[in-house]
A and B are shown apart, each in its own frame.
Chain A
Amino acid sequence: MSAKQTVAQAPGIRQTMSDLHIWTGLLAGWILYAMFLTGTVSYFKDEISRYMRPELPVAQALPDAGRTAEQVAAAILAQTPGTPQLGITLPTPRNPTASAFWRDPQAKGRGFGSGVFDPATGARLDARETRGGDFFYAFHFNFHYMPVIWGRWLAGLCAMFMLVAIVSGVITHKKIFTDFFTFRWGKGQRSWLDAHAALSVLGLPFHFMITWSGLITLMVLYMPWGLQSLAPPARQAVTSEMRFFVPPGKPAGEAAPLLPLAGFVQQAQARWGPDGAGTVQVNHAGDANARVLVARQQAQRVSTTPQYLLFDGVSGALLKTKDTSGPAATTQGVLYGLHLGRFADIATRWLYFLVSLAGTAMVGTGLVLWTVKRRARLPDPDKPYFGFRVAERLNIAAIAGLSVAMTAFFWGNRLLPMEMAQRANWEIHLFFIAWGLALAWALLRRPKRAWVELLWLAAALLALTPVLNALTTSRPLWRSLAQGDWVYAGLELTLLALAAVHAALALRTARHQPRARPVRKGGASQPPVPALPAEPVGEGA
């Protein structure tokens, strides 16, 4: 890049964009890194949840969907006879148990009950109390220990910064095509810039999509005025265009038997194919005004706009076929669907995960680049100024510390006592305790040592998670491999691969020797080390 040319003149568009890119990136970077990484693992949310509930059975052949719906509904109605609404998510090959929620007027709190059921027998399955993968998913836009609304505004603000950083980064990056495949090894800041640019450019369609669609998923929160101008019934109609949301309505007060659910599910299967029924909802079972809704399986299409059949639960008449939404709702539904990737088959899901991981590394390398670039220009490298030290330490806690914290969450899941009160909450507390300790460590130790030690700690915790699992459950890695249980085996092999990545980073960081100042050659590319540019380097790409 042509730092030499631009410095002499008044700052041009590229310089201005570069400054914008650097400062939006840094200010939101620490939070964005956590949003990106916890969001990335959420593509395997269901798999993580299954890993964290080892009591649930290994995947089996799925029974008939209609029978499953009937049995689960019967189990819920036996327990909560007066429920005005119950919803059953049918099992899929990816998630082989049926899950359900039901309104319970007697229940404390939000008035909902929920549970996981055996699809073959309808028996309720007991598993340890845990949020599972849902914690990472919720954290990536709600955060924690704060009202959900604050978290979502913070996430939206950071996503807006990210969008600014993406656009300004593309403008700053002069040689986006010439340098498409370029990586100059062992050249300090230049290498970091090449890595940052490659991670950004190669995944650019995804990074732009995920940031923009992330804002769109919460658009009604950020820009509520359109909806607010409508009367409540019209508002509900808009919501019903966008999501599968049908209120329970009013009961007639007369008892009438509910037709068997299997018949309704079969009609949906006839319409959408044998795997086409996704969820079954029953309103006012046993009442003359009973309604049955069968919604389409999300795996078949990108858009999250609702498609469902509405039946009279007593006569069996098909009252409504909802299979289209308006263009505005569909645009929102497609972007929402693209963000969540619920439709993705296993290959597409892995692509989502890998490119999203590249996005995480893009934010991480950007954060480190900020310190690498400034370290080269420090007047006294032994006594950096305050802002530099803050950024350097926060980088360590945000990047290496998060790996430690996320793995600690798995360890809590296996080690906390089963009967502990508030067990699921304590798993989450443990995540934040580990993260807080990592921050304290990053503040107390010399930066290079803190990087190396925390990266090694993360590598060790990751690598030992399968060992811990072998010791605390009856599903060790060798058995998962032998039985072809790819949820368990795949997750543990991924943890081992991530352990190797952390170990490699720790080794390279530890081995790096800063060069003496006058030498005009950068060192190898490590996080916390002084590195001089080999050539005048432009601004972050």
Chain B
Amino acid sequence: MTAAHMVVFLLCAAGFAALALAMDRHQQDVLGRALPPRATQLLRGAGWALLLAALWQAVGAKGWALGLVAYSGHASAAAGLVFVALLAWNRWRGQ
């Protein structure tokens, strides 16, 4: 039960991290340069794929009703984690 929650959360967090890294502003923040368009597209695709995988996991483990609710919560919390991580990274780098 708890393991299923962890998997969904980690997939969501990885998905949002990939989506953030597919954005110009955050590429500059984290890497200090823009990634080539091909890498950006790959990251964006991977991000959406990971979010879908998380949904599939949640629904698979808990059924549509409870799975969708848990997925929505994990998605919000994971997006919040990526948001805070980027903020902390920028602060730590002194920006």
By a beta-carbon cutoff of 8 Å, the part of chain A in contact with chain B is 178, 180-183, 185, 198, 202-203, 205-206, 209, 301-303, 334, 338, 341, 343-345, 347-348, 351-352, 354-355, 358
Contacts and interface: CB of A to CB of B under 8 A. Distances in A.
Contact of B73 (A181, A185, A343, A348): A348
Given A185-B91, A347-B1, 11 more contacts: A181-B86, A183-B83, A183-B86, A203-B80, A302-B65, A343-B66, A343-B69, A348-B70, A354-B77, A354-B80, A355-B73
A203, A338, A347, A358: residue with the most chain B Cβ atoms closer than 10 Å: A347
B41 interface: no
Contacts of B83: 181, 183, 198, 202
Contacts of A355: 73, 76-77
A178 B26 CA distance: 10
9 contacts: A181-B26, A183-B83, A202-B76, A203-B80, A206-B73, A206-B76, A302-B69, A343-B66, A354-B80
- A203, A303, A351, A352 — most chain B CB neighbours (10 Å): A351
**Central interface residue in B23, B26, B69, by most chain A CB within 10 Å:** B69
Given A302-B66, A348-B69, A181 B20 contact: yes
A358 B76 contact: yes
A351 B87 contact: no
Contacts of B90: 185
Contacts of A301: 65-66
B70 A347 contact: yes
Interface residues of B, number: 28
Contacts of A178: 23, 25
Interface string B4-42: 010000000000100110010110000000000000000
Contact of B70 (A183, A209, A351): A351
Given A178-B23, A181-B23, A302-B65, A351 B86 contact: no
Interface string B49-66: 000000000000000011
Contacts of B19: 180
B74 to A, nearest CB: 7
